[in-house]
């Protein structure tokens, strides 16, 4: 690819990719108001982000494979269009079921964006520059995470939560214009057969896992959770036996560093994904903050990431990823332990300090880990590696939100939030921080067990 058209490509990929996290931020800010408007209990509200993340998990591997077969650029554009469409549909929600369906559709479209997005960048840039460019890619995602809470809070207070879902349309049109200036479909391959059987098995595993986790400790949920294990085993067995799988398990069997890097990513995303949703609930329900003030408060963590992610990417190009990811995981664990002391009395101070620490830790981990993973595979497997990174993120996301939904259901039940529930919400935050610190500690162990991950330019 010529050097000239790279800037519209990078801008389009970054802008298109941020539409999915922007939607999740919008939902986190708006969910308390949506719950009050539609009459949805607090515990049931968690099913909105869970639905989005479930759709993303189910389609993460199929999306990466389909993008390789039909052209990464075209598939990426289809995902951006899908996000815009389901956002418009969500604006007309009149019932929780409609909103859950739109959230699942947004998850499917997000997988279509995440799958080819990182592969497009990895194809367009040399390994020596990949860490710096991946840092820009990551910073753009967290930049939206920093600005979106304030923008969403302001828009919601001025015009209501339904207006939020129209923000995506102009951004989607701009992505289409930018990518239209870049020729080619990007790594369109010969028409190998698509693994529909594996896709269905994988979808069954994801649904059984999420339903089982969120429904515990009921008998039906326990049985369903146990059924997810044979589905997973069947999926791995099937992928090992076919010529053109969704994912090559042999990549993980033969590459210990890749396996550990992906596992560390899953653990980090399990711990960090519910933080925005949990902090939004705590700020608006326990501290009685407005959506706009909550938006300002939630700027802290992604704001730190915006500045740190590109710097960490350049460091990983030069020094490798292992020490950076290890330091990031340990810093995150310290931040979670700090936040475990939060209450309605000290909430503002600890929310700011805790987000600062978590921002530093996440920034040191995310870009170096992605750069290290993409540097461990051959150019012919970049699309599959990108989808695998997206899968690790999606599995971590859905595990985290499902476990938080289970925790909120156990402590708050299926009822609307009242003043007497503030103490229970504080307990939920405290328990989650203990769990998240343990997950970050395990991720640090995975990083420690890796040999240094260096890029070709390192």
C-alpha span between 397 and 53 (Å, rounded): 6
* 454 lies in some domain: no
Report the predicted TM-score, pTM, of the whole model to 2 decimal places.
0.72
User: What pLDDT score does 330 carry?
Assistant: 96
* 187 lies in some domain: no
C-alpha span between 440 and 324 (Å, rounded): 14
Each of the 458 residues of the chain gets a pLDDT tens digit; together they read 444 456 777 778 888 877 877 777 777 777 778 887 887 776 677 778 778 878 887 887 787 777 777 777 778 888 888 888 998 898 888 888 888 888 888 888 888 887 677 677 766 676 666 666 777 777 777 677 667 777 777 887 778 788 888 888 888 888 888 777 666 545 555 567 888 899 999 889 888 887 887 777 778 888 988 998 999 899 989 988 888 888 777 767 777 888 888 899 999 999 998 888 888 888 888 888 887 788 788 788 877 877 887 788 778 777 778 889 999 999 999 999 999 998 888 778 888 999 999 999 998 998 888 877 777 766 656 666 666 777 787 788 778 887 888 888 788 766 565 556 788 888 889 999 999 999 999 999 998 987 654 444 43
User: What pLDDT score does 130 carry?
Assistant: 64
C-alpha span between 142 and 122 (Å, rounded): 20
Residue 233: Cβ within 10 Å count: 12
Q: Tokens representing 287? A: 């501290």
User: What pLDDT score does 299 carry?
Assistant: 80
User: What pLDDT score does 337 carry?
Assistant: 95
Residue 121: Cβ within 10 Å count: 24
User: What pLDDT score does 2 carry?
Assistant: 42
Residues in the chain: 458
Q: Tokens representing 94? A: 């009149």
* 394 lies in some domain: yes
- As for how many domains the chain has, the answer is 1
Residue 205: Cβ within 10 Å count: 22
Q: What is the distance in angstroms between the CA of the first residue and the CA of the last residue of the chain?
A: 23
In degrees, to the nearest 5, what angle opens at C-alpha 390 toward C-alphas 221 and 382? 140
| φ/ψ of residue 95, rounded to 5 | -150, 155
* 188 lies in some domain: no
* 104 lies in some domain: yes
* 458 lies in some domain: no
Domain with 202 in it: what CATH number? 1.20.1250.20
* 45 lies in some domain: yes
Domain that holds residue 138: 6-181+196-449
For residue 2, what are the contacts with CB-CB under 8 A and spacing of at least 6?
Answer: none
User: What pLDDT score does 310 carry?
Assistant: 76
* 186 lies in some domain: no
Hunting for tokens 């990929």 — which residue is that? 13
Helix (H) or strand (E) holding 72: helix 72-90
């Amino acid at each position: 690819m010529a050097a000239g058209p790279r800037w519209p490509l990078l801008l389009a990929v970054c802008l298109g990719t941020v539409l999915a996290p922007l939607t999740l931020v919008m939902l986190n800010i708006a969910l308390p108001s949506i719950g009050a408007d539609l009459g949805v209990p607090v515990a049931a509200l968690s099913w909105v982000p869970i639905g989005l993340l479930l759709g993303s998990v189910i389609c993460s591997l199929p999306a990466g494979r389909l993008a390789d077969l039909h052209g990464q650029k075209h598939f990426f554009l289809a995902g951006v269009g899908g996000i815009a469409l389901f956002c418009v549909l969500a604006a007309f929600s009149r019932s929780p079921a409609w909103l859950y369906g739109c959230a699942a559709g947004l998850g499917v479209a997000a997988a279509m964006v995440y799958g080819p997005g990182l592969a497009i960048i990895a194809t367009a840039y040399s390994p020596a520059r990949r860490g710096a460019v991946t840092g820009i890619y990551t910073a753009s995602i967290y930049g939206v995470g920093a600005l979106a809470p304030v923008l969403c809070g302001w828009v919601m207070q001025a015009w209501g939560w339904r207006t939020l879902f129209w923000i995506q349309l102009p951004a989607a049109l701009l992505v289409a214009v930018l990518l239209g200036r870049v020729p080619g479909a990007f790594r369109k391959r010969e028409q190998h057969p698509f693994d529909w059987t594996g896709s269905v098995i994988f979808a069954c595993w994801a649904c059984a896992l999420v339903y089982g986790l969120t429904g515990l400790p009921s008998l039906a949920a326990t049985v369903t959770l146990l059924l997810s294990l044979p589905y997973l085993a069947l999926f791995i067995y099937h992928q090992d036996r076919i010529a053109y799988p969704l994912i090559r398990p042999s990549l993980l069997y033969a590459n210990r560093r890749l396996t550990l890097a992906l596992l560390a990513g899953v653990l980090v995303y399990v711990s960090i994904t519910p933080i925005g949703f949990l902090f939004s609930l705590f700020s608006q329900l326990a501290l009685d903050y407005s959506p706009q003030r909550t938006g300002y408060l939630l700027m802290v963590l992604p704001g730190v990431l915006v500045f740190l992610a590109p710097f960490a990417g350049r460091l990983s190009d030069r020094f490798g990823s292992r020490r950076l990811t290890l330091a990031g995981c340990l810093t995150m664990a310290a931040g979670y332990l700090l936040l475990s002391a939060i209450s309605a009395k000290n909430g503002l101070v600890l929310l700011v300090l805790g987000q600062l620490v978590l921002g530093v830790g996440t920034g040191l981990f995310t870009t170096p880990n992605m750069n290290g993973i993409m540097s461990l595979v051959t150019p012919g497997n970049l699309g599959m590696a990108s989808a695998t990174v997206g899968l690790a993120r999606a599995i971590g996301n859905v595990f985290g939100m499902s476990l938080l939904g289970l925790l909120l259901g156990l402590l708050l039940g299926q009822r609307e939030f009242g003043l007497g529930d503030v103490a229970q919400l504080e307990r939920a935050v405290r328990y989650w921080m203990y769990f998240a610190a343990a997950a970050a500690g395990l991720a640090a162990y995975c990083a420690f067990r890796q040999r240094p991950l260096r890029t070709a330019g390192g």
